[in-house]
């Protein structure tokens, strides 16, 4: 008989793949931008960190101690943006800034800057 796995075990296995982790993180950020659930972003980061080697592996790529990183990922308060940026960078990701599109607006403002629409999450 086949052994049953939990949803989290399946998720951890899937998120070990960088492309899957990118899509998952983008969906989580979309949820955050829609509903402001910072705890969900934090839990998603903890899951991705676990899937991609754990805290000890991640801290080898940061200036953050394992204890500090574990505390930051476990804190139920909103994580500091510096810690978030450091964690994402160590995972090979970055947050990006994109213009918000107002559904009620007749036009979207543009600048003379290069098109950066394909830079939402990079590896």
Domain residue spans of the chain: 1-123
Q: Which residues contact 99 (CB under 8 A, 6 or more apart)?
A: 108, 109
Residue 113: predicted pLDDT: 39
Q: How many CA atoms lie within 13 A of 18 on its CB side?
A: 8
pLDDT in tens, 10-46: 999 999 998 899 889 889 888 887 887 878 888 898 9
pLDDT in tens, 74-110: 876 656 666 777 788 888 887 775 566 765 544 343 3
Region 50-58: what's the mean pLDDT? 93
pLDDT-derived band of residue 47, with 50, 70 and 90 as boundaries? very high
Residue 95: predicted pLDDT: 76
């Amino acid at each position: 008989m086949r052994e049953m796995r939990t949803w989290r075990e399946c998720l951890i296995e899937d998120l070990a793949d960088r492309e899957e982790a990118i899509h998952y993180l983008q969906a989580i950020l979309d949820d955050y931008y829609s509903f402001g659930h910072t705890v969900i972003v934090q839990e998603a980061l903890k899951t991705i960190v676990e899937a991609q080697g754990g805290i000890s592996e991640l801290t080898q790529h940061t200036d953050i101690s394992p204890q500090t990183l574990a505390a930051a990922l476990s804190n139920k308060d909103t994580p500091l943006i510096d810690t978030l940026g450091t964690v994402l960078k160590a995972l090979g990701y970055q947050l990006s800034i994109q213009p918000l599109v107002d559904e009620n607006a007749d036009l979207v403002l543009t600048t003379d800057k290069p098109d950066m629409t394909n830079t939402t999450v990079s590896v």
